[in-house]
Structure 1
Amino acid sequence: MGSRKKTQTVGYRYGLTVHMGVCYGPVDQVQKILADDRDAYTSTVTSTQTVNINKGDLFGGDEKEGGLRGQMHIQMGDSIQTPSPLLTAQLGTNIPAFRGVLGFVYKGIMSANNPYLKPFSFIVRRVLSGWQNGLWYSSKALINGRDANPAHIVYECLTNSDWGMCYPTASIDDANFRQVADVLYNEGFGLSLIWAQQSTLESFLAIIFNHIAGSLNIDPRTGLYQIKLVRQDYDPNSLPVFDQDSIVELVSYQRAGWGELVGEVTVKFTDPVTFEETATTVQNLATIQAQEGVIPQVISFTGITSAELASRVAQRELIARSSPLAKVKIKVKRKAWNQLPNDVFKFSWPKLGITAMVMRVASVDTGSLDSGVITIEALEDVFGMPANSYVGQQGNEWENPLQPPAAAPYRLFREVTFLEMVRTLSPADLSYIDPDDGFPIMYASRPGAGYYDYTLRIDGADVDQGDHCAVAVVSDGLDKEEFTTLILSVNDSSQVTVGEYAAINDEYVRIDSFNDLTGEITLARGVIDTVPHEHPANSVLFFGDGANTVDQTASPIGAFLQAKVITRTGMGTLDPVMAPTDTLMIQARHNKPYPPAKFRINGEYLPENTTGPITIIWNGRNRIIQDRNILDQTEASLMPEDGTTYTIRIFDQANVLCRTLTGLTGTSYTYPLDDEVSDCGGMQTHITVQLFSVRDGIESYQYHEHRFGREYEYDLGYGFNFGGSWGN
């Protein structure tokens, strides 16, 4: 008889049903499910449902530690949630629904060759859901599509009656909270944090305010909770003044020494993709040089998930830690009854040579009513430093690398073109633009190193913050026919992009080549809605594509706007009085047809003299067809917009208009000699021709123009011959 072959067991797969409660619910969405820090399920879930997980090789397959193969029932935690069918199958129907808790029930294979449960983790977003009394200020709750507005976090921590502080909403200064929410939203200052309840809510709120540089105060006038942010949001001239008339006692005054300063700040934040901790570092080279070494400091802001925001916060912290700021402790009369942490005031003390130093309150001790004295500890405000005035200050050899803000030396205040609209707006948004409106745009250069950005102020109101653009000075003048020139220098050559546009005076050009070593630059002339112009030596070329500021508020045709560029450095912002004023009249430029291109007279672009009839030719342009393309003057003719015609104006030798030819629909026109003589009153030594587009009565933003000499041939016996029969 033969023997039966025995089967051999080489390992086991392990499975179970597990119920995991994660956090308070409901939540907006579950973005990812991980096991042992590996992606188990990556599709976004926004409602209670069961999903299949089929990752049998997640931990290496059967030859190693197996993987997951089963079902995950996701319970979002809403108020109508029912018991999980995966749980009732194991425990029966007499179990709760676990409403108000985000839960996960997994049933299936968990591993192979390893009886230990791999740890699960979950990436969850909760910003809009779970509010007890409805979402407060919904339009500003979500920042960057993933983070919560810190003002909303604070609001819910104060008012939630399940896990929060249970304060009524009436105890919140709603207007103040909304204003703070607007500021943080505009800054892109969203946070993603977990409060695990191992710490108090007070300590959690302290983490929030440490991130955003702010504090929670109770307004002594209203008794309402307010948030105060540390921002440059004050007018130094309107601040209260504490001096010898109001200060009972100067308890202490000291200024940080160089040995106490930090020259390098590293901010730790959370990578939004991997959710791992990462870092960004900034340095103050002047402080490092003065100390002859690097004194670093590492700060954890793990609620930040944006590298750009982390860099800005690192710069904020560096400015505060690398500047030799003054500290003061004063006892003040009841005049300071309304001072709160992070409020600002001006401090004057002639004995120390201090006049109107802007200070920010660090702490306030209101004392007792019978004493009538309030004790304030304050720190010199980093944003208020430009307004400080020091009298009799002892000099030293150190030169501050941070200079007081100065005006932007080069500015170009223009109206947004159709090309810029197409590049920044969706077709749907573009369709909502009123054809009779216009939008101003500012290009402004950086005054020097250490300048952050600037605020564009139009008609006295701040409209937006903008980045400085690179500029270059053209060494020689440019005539209408030149394409290549030399530039003296570029303050940031990284902003010079071949193929993009730049602006010089009232002409847009395309950058076709640039040699940073020799300074040679080649330009395509008269692009977008402009034509070639003459430019004198030392004209400024603005590389403003992507580095500009646009007022998003529409202005009607004929509106006259006045703009100021308010620059900002580590020492503060420019006094608006010191900022030059640039003006602009709105023409709804984006709605004007593009002018024709390749303007030629008798086959030449800019002839000095001509003989015989005048033949004018051109190429059509179409802003709609061109879309985002920046065509030069020589490129092929395009079918113009519907309703577009061309107009030619003829001026005599005295520059008096003598003929207007309208309604032209082709791409050429010949002006006979006899018409010239008839229209202009005889023979002319010089004549001027203008050419432009017209669509439905709207003229192109610019027109071609050329003045040239006229030469006439003699016909012996008959006088002059103009190619016709004049003079017989």
Structure 2
Amino acid sequence: MGKGSKPTIGFWYHLAYHHGLTVGPIDAFLEFRGGDKTAWSGELTSSGTIHVNAPMLWGGEKDQGGIVGDLDVMFGEPTQVPNPYLVQTFGAQTAAWRGFSTVAFKGGRYGAMNPYPKPPSYKIRQILQGWDAPGCWYPEKAAILIHVEGPVSDAVLYNELAMAGDVVIGPPTPGGAYIEIDGFDPSDELVLQVVDGSYTAWSRFANDSDNGGRSWTCGVAVTSDTGATTYYLDDPSYSPAHYFPTAAEAHAYALSQPPGIFTGSTYYRLHFADWVVNLNRGGLSLKVIRRGRFLHAINPAHVLYYSRTNSDMGRESRASINDASLRAAADKLYAEGFGICPDWDPANESVEDFEKRICKLIGGSFTRSLEDGQWYLDLARGDYVLADLPILNDDDILDFKEQPAILDNAVNSVSVRYFDPQRKETIVTAPTRALGLVAAFGTIHQTTDYRAIPAADLAARIAQRDVMASATPKRVFDLATMRKTYAWRPNQYFRLQTPKRGIADMVCLVGDKQSGTLKSGAIRMKAAQDIYSLPSTGYVHVEPGVDTRPPQTPTPITAQRALEAPYVEIAAMLSRADLAALPAAVGYAMAVAANPGGDLDYTMMVADATGNYADAGRAEWCASATVVESAGYVETAFTLAGGSGLGGVAIGMGALWDDEIVRVDALDVGAGTITIGRGCADTVRQRHSAGARLWIYPTGFAYGATEYTDGEVVDVKLLPNTGSQQQDLASATALPITFGQRQARPYPPAQLRINGMSNPSSVVGAITVTGVHRDRVQQADQLVDSEMAGIGPEAGTTYTFRYFLNGSLVNTDAGLATPSSTYTPSGAGIVRVEIEAVRDGLTSYQMHVREFVVGLPLLDETGVPITTEDNQLIIMG
């Protein structure tokens, strides 16, 4: 059983609180933040409990902790009962809070080290709920989707969806197999992208009909309810057309391709191709994401309807609203995509002032008619039929004054200040200018506050509207009229026809209006030429900027390893006294991982005998790359691909290549080349396939202080950390380690030679195997490669040589004081030689293995080897 301890450096704080959100009920609870960092996000659509698991939100235990615990969200339904936790914590006098949306944090962890809690904040949606009976007016047009810069939400459906030949086979044919992914809104995006580190190129056999022996990329066809078929990493013929000389090049090609993005459907079907190759010789892993890029905002017409009729605001009957007028305005605003996210504080703003603010924003008027007493919403959009407009002529006008149109002091540059609810940030658009006036009079700039605007595109259109209204020469009139205009409402259109004043026919808008006095029945009003329509597009693009904050959602690790620590690393960690006292049966866990994205670092979690995981410490990402070439026993120079963190590599550092420890002797990051010393520490030179990953582990590795004993098996999970979140433990891959006294085992001999050769293909006659000593204790933390001069031996070390002929053990030389042995085979065939070191009953962690032919192959007259019918060489003894 492992043992170890950690000092107490501080404490977690546990909070219980009850916060009010708004008048309820609400449509959905969307996000919970602490100190402006997201602790939970999703979509809760009814009262319930969410579990917040963000222990790293403010840096974890090494900084100011995070949030871990349950949050009860109470929507404020009419049937809501007192919250059991609040009753238990604060007493039986706790109210049910019907009609109010509230949250209760139930005593979980809320920060560490710092006794001052960071303020929480919440994002909710309230569009369809919260209305007085009979419910939301005109619900079909209540919610408006607003496109925002960047994703509103990302839901990872598959971290690694395997595209292997034994999963789904065939092109998209009727009745063919597929994987279906549903639950999409047509506005959502399906995103497919290759997962780094989990891709293996598919290959052809040499005798395949075409492109024999080459590697190729697998493709996927995507179909949907729209009937369209789209291909990703493939071509319309549904054949794997991308061939490459090596698997590493195929891998690099797949990673270089942009993500596949699909939208407009409610479900998608993925069809994988494996019909050219009959056997599964590789695979492709995809990350599948459902991405929402639209924000649900409310129609301003609904805001005004609510403010005038709901019991918590205007309190008027719905019969006082002209339904046709409000529906027409709602349809127009919906078509314009004019969704807003307004706020209202009754302590600082009256209902009337709130309505005026909304009307100013949308370019409309919400007024009561003097004819029928109903409320009308009139938008200045230029939507009228000329023949249907009322006419005001000379006979109706008692007094006429025209205000001079002077542009030298007119605002000619407008910015809009709005609030982005996704980023929880106030943003100011770039100026929208009337360039002609700027050139003539200089810049006269104005920044207008429209905090209900939630998105950049709408803010730019409003800025364009406002600058046009200010900078366009327009005619404004002060009129005194007969009673004909008594019932005209602000923002209604009419035709002004006064030939004696030089106006034959002009469409105008009603402005401010006074209905007269007892002494004079004349109606006084302002009228303006119509120029106020909302542009369909803006000329200024709001640059969303680059979010310099690191990503907050952890990316699962795809390239990782866990192993028992070798002696060379333990010697570097422990003092000389601790190293000398270390029992032979003790071992330590070690792990490396490559950064899968923009994550900060990772935490190594190790399971105990009961399966419970404990934090073994945080570690930096390890510099790594894949080796393009395959390798035998003698090569030392290679090409690297897909490197990360190589800028931090220093000459002389150790590296793990499969199970072989090597030393970095030269590295050119730009050229992607490396030279290494091979077979270091307790490992020997090994064969490696192309694409094997090289870990330069001194740049970053996890190392646990807990001691484990011989034969103990533990599971390790590596959890990536961002600045505020850590991957959920359950979703991480378990990496098993079996401890086997690695640090105590003797080192195998080095400089292996067979009849003077490192790796002979054939030997004739006697076999002489030689090597030089290695000494674990003397070498300590130094990386000595297999071709360097002998060191040692460690006291008590002997060597064992085993010889196999055609698969059968024919000779063993054991207990040798020097790594040297000679054996003469009794016949011809394939010889396998194994060489290992032994000390105190422990064999070396690895042993040398070589295979070669004993005897000479039979050749024909041209020098080509003669083989049997099953392609076996004929050997002469």
TM-score normalised to the size of structure 2? 0.41
| Higher RCO structure, 1 or 2 (CA under 8 Å, sep 6+) | 2
The structure that has the greater radius of gyration is 2
